[in-house]
């Protein structure tokens, strides 16, 4: 019988029975999938249909973050499943645990929190050494110089329009680069705001990522006439993982290139 560590607790404080040697990991969050695939090649035994990085990832798929195939995950016999409190529904997490599958939940709201959470996830839940890229990412963010102060709205969806609100990883990423989220004080984390209100919110910048809604130069900027728009990669704005190394430089370049369409 494998030995288990009954003292390991995930970010939510839940004890997770992780074996002393982890051989098979299923991730139900794209950021965590990339984190494991880059840090411990060969450990990943399954991922969601939305897990696109690293490119060419060839593992069994278990549907999406909001509707994981619990039975397929169970059949994959993972030593641990990796999830996130924002991305995954509590009901799915409980269903996996009820099926006898250990689930390690991350909870990430800031850049510093992401670096600490991923380090614990890799070393305690996956039983692998902390990778060098975590230190590289910490240095990249410590060296990141905020640009010209801007006040921004950050839509993540349209039809209906939804924006980044309070207490989010995305908001912290932008704040560290000198961009203040106009809706950081909203009671909801991802509020639905009518377009006319967005245009009257007092922002001098609109940040449009290419996920979860794929905003492009031809789809989104036209809704904000007279306001600078920055089109950014969603992976650099919203993902926590190896992309954190390049994110400060990539985002600063895109923010500096903001223009009125």
148-256 adopts what CATH topology?
Answer: Rossmann fold (3.40.50)
Structure tokens at 242: 């190896």
pLDDT score recorded for residue 247 = 97
Locate the domains of the chain by residue range. 4-130, 148-256
- 4-130 shares its CATH topology with 148-256: yes
Q: What top-level class would CATH report for the domain 4-130?
A: alpha beta
Say which residues have a Cβ less than 8 Å from residue 242's Cβ, sequence separation at least 6: 34, 35, 38, 39, 133, 137
Tokens representing 31 are 């950021």
pLDDT by 10-residue block (mean), the chain, 261 residues: 66 94 97 97 94 93 94 96 96 95 97 98 96 97 92 97 97 97 97 97 97 96 97 96 97 96 92
> Among 136, 135, 128, which residue's Cα sits nearest to residue 36?
128
Full-model pTM: 0.92
């Amino acid at each position: 019988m494998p030995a288990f560590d009954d003292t390991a607790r995930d970010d939510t404080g839940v004890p997770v029975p992780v074996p002393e040697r982890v051989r098979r990991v299923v991730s139900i969050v794209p950021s965590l999938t990339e984190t494991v695939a880059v840090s411990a090649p060969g450990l990943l035994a399954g991922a969601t249909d939305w897990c696109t990085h690293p490119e060419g990832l060839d593992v069994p798929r278990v549907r999406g973050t909001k509707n994981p195939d619990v039975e397929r995950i169970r059949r994959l016999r993972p030593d641990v499943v990796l999830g996130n409190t924002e991305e995954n529904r509590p009901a799915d997490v409980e269903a996996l645990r009820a099926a006898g599958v250990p689930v390690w939940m991350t909870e990430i709201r800031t850049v510093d929190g992401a670096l600490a959470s991923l380090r614990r996830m890799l070393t305690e839940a996956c039983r692998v050494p902390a990778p060098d890229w975590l230190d590289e990412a910490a240095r990249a963010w410590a060296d990141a110089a905020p640009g010209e102060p801007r006040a921004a709205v950050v839509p993540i969806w349209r039809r209906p329009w939804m924006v980044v609100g309070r207490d989010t990883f995305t908001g912290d990423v932008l704040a560290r680069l000198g961009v203040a989220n106009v809706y950081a004080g909203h009671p909801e984390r991802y509020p639905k705001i009518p377009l006319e209100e967005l245009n009257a919110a007092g922002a001098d910048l609109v940040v449009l990522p290419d996920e979860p809604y794929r905003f492009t130069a031809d789809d989104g900027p036209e809704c904000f006439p007279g306001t600078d728009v920055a089109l950014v990669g969603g992976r650099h704005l919203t993902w926590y993982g190896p992309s954190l190394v390049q994110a400060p430089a990539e985002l600063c370049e895109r923010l500096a290139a903001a223009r009125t369409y």
